[in-house]
């Protein structure tokens, strides 16, 4: 667990995003936070991790932003909800961090993924970091719930090679119960990405009795297939790896008794996407 105000020497690298980090932005004046958000000259990051094989094609370096406006019941990184839990990082420092991995990423046909938290909470910073990655010739991916997709201009979208769109469900009431927010903006962003022929991978977390309604999954599959730009669907089995964070943060965790889905249930969900002609894994 890392706790307490971060300085310029606080390491950005973490072994995994499951490392609990809190209050690293403590002491940053509110006016600085606002200025950072407006300009994108500074962002708040939980960490950088390397070697991911699941956050886009090839081997990925992932920057995990802090700040999220959703409150998903199954969130495994609730320490990223609060922007002030992240390390304040200038765009120059984040770019230099990325530069370290440039050659390796190219050699491994990998790239850079910005995840979170919700990266578009800090969309100016995200845009600057993607532009910097592009200038270095690094493949770029944005992992987002899509709610703030309209914060990105069409031109800014062009700095992103791939969008990993986290779609949490289909039914409006169930989506609201799961995330605290409505699903409409996510679907609207999906349609906009489709209109621009932007490659998308959909990520869907399967939780028994929460997101596994067969009709919901079938409806989501039909919607995704109709977009025409969905290259792949990742059905992600729910897990309990983030449970300890809820406890450490003093948050009420409603899914304490929830179990991961069976291999058969995951396969059934994948099959529903495949029936619509999608590549589901
Ligand atoms: S959108 Fe992601 S980071 Fe935000 S609460 Fe949901 S799972 Fe957690």
Query: Which residue's CA is the nearest one to ligand 1's atom 2?
Result: 117
d(CA 29, CA 76): 28
117 CB less than 6 Å from ligand 1?
yes
Give the integer Cα–Cα distance in Å for 268 and 279. 14
Please tell me if the CB atom of residue 72 comes closer than 6 angstroms to any atom of ligand 1. Answer: yes
With the most atoms of ligand 1 within 8 angstroms of its CB, the residue from 17, 18, 70 to mutate is: 70
Question: How far does residue 134's CA lie from ligand 1's centre (Å)?
Answer: 26
Pocket-testing residue among 74, 82, 145, ligand 1, by greatest number of atoms within 8 A of Cβ: 145
Distance 183 CA to ligand 1 centre (A): 13
pLDDT of residue 166: 98
> What is the best residue among 47, 80, 122, 207 to mutate for testing ligand 1's pocket, by most ligand atoms within 8 Å of CB?
80
Name the maximum alpha-carbon separation found in the chain. Answer: 52
Q: Under 8 Å CB-to-CB from 195, ≥6 apart: which residues? A: none
Q: Token pair for residue 123?
A: 């969309």
Q: What is the pLDDT of residues 42-91, one digit of tens each?
A: 999 998 999 999 999 999 999 999 999 999 999 999 999 998 889 999 99
Compute the distance between CA of residue 247 and CA of residue 258 in angstroms, rounded to an integer: 15
20-57 residues labelled b (16+ CB within 10 A) or e (exposed): bbbbbbeebeeeebeebbeebebbbbbbbbbebeebbb
Q: Which two tokens stand for residue 93?
A: 């420092």
CA 18 to chain CA centroid, Å, is 14
Q: For residue 106, what are its two tokens?
A: 């190219």
The pLDDT of residue 9? 67
Query: Mean pLDDT for each 10-residue chunk of the chain (281 residues)?
Result: 61 73 75 88 92 94 96 95 90 95 92 97 97 97 98 97 98 97 98 98 97 98 98 97 94 96 98 98 94
């Amino acid at each position: 667990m890392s706790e307490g105000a971060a300085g310029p020497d606080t390491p950005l690298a973490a072994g995994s995003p499951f490392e609990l980090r809190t209050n690293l932005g403590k002491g940053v004046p509110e006016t600085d936070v606002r200025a950072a958000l407006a300009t994108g000259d500074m962002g708040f990051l939980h960490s950088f991790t390397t070697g991911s094989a699941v956050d886009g094609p090839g081997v990925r370096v992932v920057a995990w932003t802090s700040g999220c406006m959703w409150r998903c019941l199954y969130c495994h990184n609730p320490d990223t909800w609060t922007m002030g839990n992240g390390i304040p990082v200038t765009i120059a420092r984040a770019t230099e961090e990325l530069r370290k991995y440039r050659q390796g990423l190219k050699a491994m046909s990998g790239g850079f993924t910005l995840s979170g938290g919700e990266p578009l909470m800090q969309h100016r910073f995200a845009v600057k970091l993607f532009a910097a990655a592009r200038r270095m010739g690094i493949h770029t991916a944005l992992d987002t719930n899509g709610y703030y997709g309209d914060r990105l201009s069409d031109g800014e979208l062009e700095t992103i090679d791939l969008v990993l769109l986290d779609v949490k469900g289909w039914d409006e009431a169930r989506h609201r119960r799961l995330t605290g927010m409505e699903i409409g903006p996510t679907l609207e962003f999906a349609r906009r990405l489709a209109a621009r022929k932007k490659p998308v991978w959909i990520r869907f977390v399967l939780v028994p009795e929460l997101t596994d309604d067969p009709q919901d999954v079938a409806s989501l599959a039909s919607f995704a297939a109709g977009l025409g730009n969905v290259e792949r669907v990742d059905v992600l089995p729910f897990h309990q790896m983030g449970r300890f964070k809820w406890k450490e943060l003093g948050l009420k965790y409603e899914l304490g008794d929830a179990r991961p889905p069976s291999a058969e249930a995951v396969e059934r969900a994948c099959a529903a996407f495949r029936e619509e002609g999608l590549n589901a894994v």
